[in-house]
């Protein structure tokens, strides 16, 4: 799955990503692209906090330092629920 959060600012990009992650199963990936560096940091922080694996998905072809691309993988430990219950199967 791919989602582009370009043109949005915090907290909207994190909300969009969380909504997309709720639809994925363990082992599936979400690629997120955007153009607001603070959103990249917020997305990374939120995903790490909730047990998702996050890596840069850039292929190195972009010259624009403002854009980012992240690959987020749903792990067995991933949870988006505030109570810590696992929401992904």
- Whether 24 is in a domain gets the answer yes
Question: First-to-last CA distance in the chain?
Answer: 17
* Structural domain that includes position 19: 2-73
Model pTM score: 0.84
Domain total of the chain: 1
Residue found under tokens 């690959």: 71
- Please report which confidence band the pLDDT of residue 52 belongs to, taking 50, 70 and 90 as the band edges: very high
- Whether 88 is in a domain gets the answer no
Any idea which residues carry the catalytic annotation?
10
| pLDDT at residue 49, as a whole number | 96
The SS3 call for residue 43 is helix
pLDDT tens, residue by residue, 1-19: 999 999 999 999 999 999 9
What CATH number did the domain enclosing 27 receive?
3.30.110.40
Which helix H or strand E contains 34, and what residues bound it? Answer: strand 29-34
- Under a CB-based contact definition with an 8 Å cutoff, are residues 24 and 88 in contact? yes
- Whether 85 is in a domain gets the answer no
């Amino acid at each position: 799955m791919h989602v582009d959060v370009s043109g949005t600012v915090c907290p909207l990009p994190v909300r969009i990503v969380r909504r997309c992650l709720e639809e994925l199963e363990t082992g599936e990936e979400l690629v997120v692209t955007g153009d607001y560096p603070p959103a990249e940091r917020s997305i990374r922080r939120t995903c790490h906090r909730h047990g998702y694996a996050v890596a840069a998905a850039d292929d190195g072809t972009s010259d624009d330092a403002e854009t980012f691309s992240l690959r987020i993988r749903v792990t067995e430990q991933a949870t988006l629920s505030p109570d810590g219950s696992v929401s992904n199967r």
